[in-house]
A and B are shown apart, each in its own frame.
Chain A
Amino acid sequence: MKRLKAVFRICKVASIPSPLRGEGRARVPKARGRVRVGLPAVRRGVPPSPWPSPLKGEGTRWRGRLLLAAALLLLTAPARAEQDRTLTVVTWGGTYEQSQRAAYFEPFEALTGVEVETVRYDGSLQALRDHLADGETRWDVIDLIRADAVRACDAGLLEKIDPAILEPAPDGTPARADFIEVAIRPCSITQLVFSTVIAYDNRAFPGEKPRRVEDFFNTERFPGKRALRKAPVALFEWALMAYGVPRQQLYELLSTQRGFDLALAKLEEIRDELVWWQGGQEPVDLLKQGKVAMASGYNGRFFHARAVEGAPISVIWDGQLLDYNAWAIPKGADDGDLARRFIGFATRTARLADQANRISYGPARKSAQRRVGLHVTAGVPMRPYLPTAERHMETAIPRDHTWYAQTVDLRQRRFRQWLSDDAGDTEGEAGREPAGKPAGD
């Protein structure tokens, strides 16, 4: 039944009379654009013209033929009996999900007729474990932090993905050469690069601007409050960088007690100026309201505030902590083939570049990085805002997930201990909101 519906949908997009029309129409869902957080699935309908097509105009007839061919292919594909032909994608919500909807879900729906429904989750591996716990998997595709994907793969929570599903770049470069390093793993395909950066309020520094990580710790030269995420992530690296430790050696040094001692000693120097945040939007708001002069946060959030909302926020790219999001398929997904097909589609060069024109996360394919242009609504050139811009990569810290995984308890313990040495400062806990964008661990 679902397959027939898909054929109908394609026929509709292609404006070809459909023998199945009557039957299909009844099944088009009405709940368009509504997202219900926490529930297993939210169905999304097909927008009237979702096809961001370069073929519009004289190519319409040709497009119709192409889609008809696709429809026939679908009809001849092996039948799947009782399952619903919908794809359930588990992702992060917020503007990030909106960009995914426009760049991936809608075009995929248009191409295949399959409905893409989304489930928002908190980004933790535990959510995946909980879902799989009852033995039934209703999720098809999950958007994971790469490190979690690797761990989940080792723990047997994910299906294997054959890299053959990845399409070559438009110029014919094979996928393996086109993707950034170690993007293609046994159970996951890295699709984007985001980063945790330090940003500052332009108004706080009318003269000399902070440029380096050590400026964050220099409150004499750059006075003002500092906001940091209340979690043992990124701050150890930055504290050591402020001592002049080269970024290649950070994690080696942070594998010793002495490294932690040094990092915390550096944080101690600015303890009185620190404000803690927890939700991803907080640092942006703190900066906008002039409550802090510098803040750590996610580059996409800062971009949005700056380029779309016009807030006077600048990013210090020095020491940006790179992280990656990857597509994966939960173990026992009820429509694994469709999930693989989706991943192949969503990692096409054009799709990745399309998403990067909506939100400032770097595509995981070199060919896509070259195609990134202007922001779809704000019209600003996107490339200078991407973590993957060459200039920004020169001083980036590639996040060491092995180290992060190995030091979960130790980091928490050392961080909490240090916090409790001076229990007064918990300002940032107010105004908590759920993170809309990957927040790490």
Chain B
Amino acid sequence: MPAVPIPDRLSQTAVYRILVLSLVGVAVGTGASLAAIGFVEALTALNDLLLISPYARIQYETQPGLVTAATVLVPGLGGLLVGLLVRYGVAERRGLAPPDTIYAVQTRTRPPSLKSGLASTAAALVSLGAGASVGQYGPLVHMGAMLGNLAARLKLGVRNLQPVALACGVAAAISTAFNAPIAGLVFAHEVILRHYSLRAFAPVTVASATGYVFANVIFDRPALFLVSFEGVPHAYEFALFAAVGIASALLACAFMALVLWAGRQAARTPLPQPLRPMAAGLALGLFALQVPEVLGVGQETLRFATIDGAFQPGELALLVAAKLAATVLCVAFGFVGGVFSPALLIGILFGALCGTLVPLVPLPIESSGVVVYAIRGMMAVTSPVIGAPLTTILIVFELTRNYDLTIAAMVAVVFSNLVAYRIFGRSLFDAQLKARGFDLSLGRDKAILESRRVIDYLSRAATVLPPSASVRELLAELARTDRAEAAVVDADGRYRGTVQLQDATSVAGDRPVGDLAERTPVIFDPDTSVWAAIQALPGYLGEAVPLVDTDGRFLGVVPEEAVIRAYLDATNELRTEENEAA
């Protein structure tokens, strides 16, 4: 017997919720982690099989014809397969990516279907396997979210499970892919959930730790990146770090702007959508004959960039440009994959370039070597692209386990983020969402209010009269329904205007109301968001705002009170979600 009696119902529900959330964390974490390991293994195997990885290519070093053919044809045919998979498998007709997860979590809408998700994942695997210059983490994040959504669809009786379950999958995927559980945890909050409630925190942590256990303890996956670094001996270098951070921000902005611009250009090409990736693949292959580093994820180049003397400054500049162009081409022309890994590569090459240029500066300063500049450049370019400074800093820390390097990277990351935010916005993901009409730049409350429709608060309890009805009839009807205004709607159901009680009292009783009706200064349509409604209401004098569809047909009214209620509902939900404990 416990000394203090615990209220039965309370303890049961809280305990139940904690239990369910933890189990969801473990289950989703396990699934996402295994899926991530399988995905990475499969893509490595494909790269070896299809002669994309240098390790496989070198065995045919004496048969340059074969390597040349593979270099051009593999990305080309892979592109064709990707185009067909996306066209016939994905309902959205494009590769699914983190923005889809962010959107689903923020708006509590259903994410893309499982079938679309699987087809998109397969297309991503083909893209990466065939050497397209796209990233693996976007597809991994989406796969994690997809598995999280499976758990969310179980009827577990826990409110608001979906965002938490999706975040669990994302955290486990990142945790497994980078061997970085803390970064996984923070990424899920910083990029996907965008709040830090204790309730989400616990299961997401569990999922992230599960991912780490699978990656490290059970499968003993090799670390993504091992760097030894002795520390920064010169204080003035921190000023240089900030400068490189700002330069990286400019590069990141250019990268993101180019991705968006090229996406629009691609949409205008006469080439049918399923054939676009093939065209990009063939172009990439031809390009790779000159610069083989543009193919694939570029694990080897990533490592070489940290070695002093591996590249000449000219080579580095060329590779930054080449990788950037290749990625923009592949992403815009429909290969399925993320921008994270390419950003890492572009960044590390850019950082190495800065590192090799520093000793050339005619000042009596010593540099602490190319490694620190390379890592810093990598993080400073990547962080604005994914809009996650904290995650980036933690990834550096968890990958290198090096405190000095993390501090150095932190300075660059923060400056880079600040500058890129001013120029471009928070991240490529947010920019892509904005292009789809979901703007997170002024906070998630505004974005969520924008995603809700006032039509959900439509009331049919309005006084409606035909234009031919007389003012006398109007007055009688208003008195009967106890309202001060009536909508005038013609025989076709079209909205003609609204008549206010005060305008009707001073006119002759037999005039038709059609003469008096005036369109109100604010009229909603089915797409009007709660945010737009709230913005329109100040100064509006009527009782309710008519809602009219695109053909001009009257659907009903939205009372002022309902608009305020919609606003309060949304903000209350947000506050509850962000402050829930368990």
A binds B: yes
Residues of A bordering B, CB below 8 Å: 243-246, 248-249, 251-253, 255-256, 258-259, 262, 265, 403, 405-407, 409-410
From residue A72, how far is it (CB to closest CB) to chain B in Å? 50
A124 to B306, CA, bound (A): 39
Which B residues, 265 to 302, have Cβ-Cβ distances below 8 Å to chain A?
A: 299-300
Q: Which residues of A contact B53 (CB under 8 A)?
A: 252, 255
A262 to B371, CA, bound (A): 16
Interface contact A252-B55, CB-CB below 8 Å: yes
A407 to B61, CA, bound (A): 8
Given A252-B54, A252-B55, A403-B55 in contact, is the A243-B307 Cβ separation under 8 Å? yes
User: Is B564 an interface residue when CB atoms closer than 8 A count as contact?
Assistant: no
A265 to B311, CA, bound (A): 12
Interface contact A410-B61, CB-CB below 8 Å: yes
Which B residues, 298 to 342, have Cβ-Cβ distances below 8 Å to chain A?
A: 299-300, 303-304, 306-311
Contact pick for A406, options B59, B222, B304, B371, CB 8 Å = B59
From residue B239, how far is it (CB to closest CB) to chain A in Å? 26
Interface contact A252-B300, CB-CB below 8 Å: yes
Given A256-B54, A262-B310, A265-B309 in contact, is the A249-B303 Cβ separation under 8 Å? yes
| 18 extra A-B contacts, CB within 8 A, seeds A249-B226, A403-B58, A409-B61 | A243-B307, A244-B227, A244-B228, A244-B306, A252-B55, A252-B300, A255-B53, A255-B54, A255-B55, A255-B300, A256-B304, A258-B300, A258-B304, A258-B310, A258-B311, A259-B300, A259-B304, A262-B304
A252 to B53, CA, bound (A): 9
Residues of B bordering A, CB below 8 Å: 53-55, 57-59, 61-62, 222-223, 226-228, 299-300, 303-304, 306-311, 371
Given A248-B222, A262-B307, A407-B58 in contact, is the A253-B228 Cβ separation under 8 Å? no
Interface contact A410-B58, CB-CB below 8 Å: yes
Q: Is the interface of A mostly helix, strand, loop or mixed?
A: helix
Q: Which residues of A contact B304 (CB under 8 A)?
A: 253, 256, 258-259, 262
Given A244-B228, A258-B304, A407-B58 in contact, is the A252-B299 Cβ separation under 8 Å? yes
Interface contact B300-A246, CB-CB below 8 Å: no
From residue A299, how far is it (CB to closest CB) to chain B in Å? 25
A244 to B62, CA, bound (A): 30
Q: Which residues of B contact A406 (CB under 8 A)?
A: 58-59, 61
A410 to B60, CA, bound (A): 10
Closest to A249 in B: B303
Q: Which residues of B contact A244 (CB under 8 A)?
A: 227-228, 306-307, 371
Q: Which residues of A contact B222 (CB under 8 A)?
A: 248
Total number of residue pairs linking A and B with CB closer than 8 Å:
62
10 closest A-B pairs by beta carbon, nearest first, are A406-B59, A255-B54, A246-B226, A255-B55, A255-B58, A256-B54, A243-B307, A248-B222, A410-B61, A252-B300
Q: Which residues of B contact A246 (CB under 8 A)?
A: 223, 226
From residue B222, how far is it (CB to closest CB) to chain A in Å? 5
Interface contact A253-B303, CB-CB below 8 Å: yes
A262 to B309, CA, bound (A): 8
Q: Which residues of A contact B54 (CB under 8 A)?
A: 252, 255-256
From residue B448, how far is it (CB to closest CB) to chain A in Å? 45
From residue A429, how far is it (CB to closest CB) to chain B in Å? 28
A256 to B371, CA, bound (A): 20
A406 to B227, CA, bound (A): 28
Closest to B371 in A: A244
A248 to B62, CA, bound (A): 26
Q: Which residues of A contact B227 (CB under 8 A)?
A: 244
Q: Which residues of A contact B310 (CB under 8 A)?
A: 258, 262
From residue A390, how far is it (CB to closest CB) to chain B in Å? 16
Given A249-B303, A252-B300, A262-B309 in contact, is the A409-B62 Cβ separation under 8 Å? yes
A405 to B56, CA, bound (A): 12
Closest to A256 in B: B54
In the assembled complex, 26 residue pairs joining A and B whose CB atoms fall closer than 8 Å, in A order, are A243-B307, A243-B308, A244-B227, A244-B306, A245-B303, A246-B223, A246-B226, A249-B299, A251-B55, A252-B53, A252-B54, A252-B55, A252-B299, A252-B303, A255-B53, A255-B55, A255-B300, A256-B300, A258-B300, A262-B307, A262-B309, A262-B310, A403-B55, A406-B58, A406-B61, A407-B58
Closest to A243 in B: B307
A244 to B369, CA, bound (A): 13
Interface contact A245-B61, CB-CB below 8 Å: no
Closest to A240 in B: B307
Closest to A247 in B: B226
A407 to B59, CA, bound (A): 6
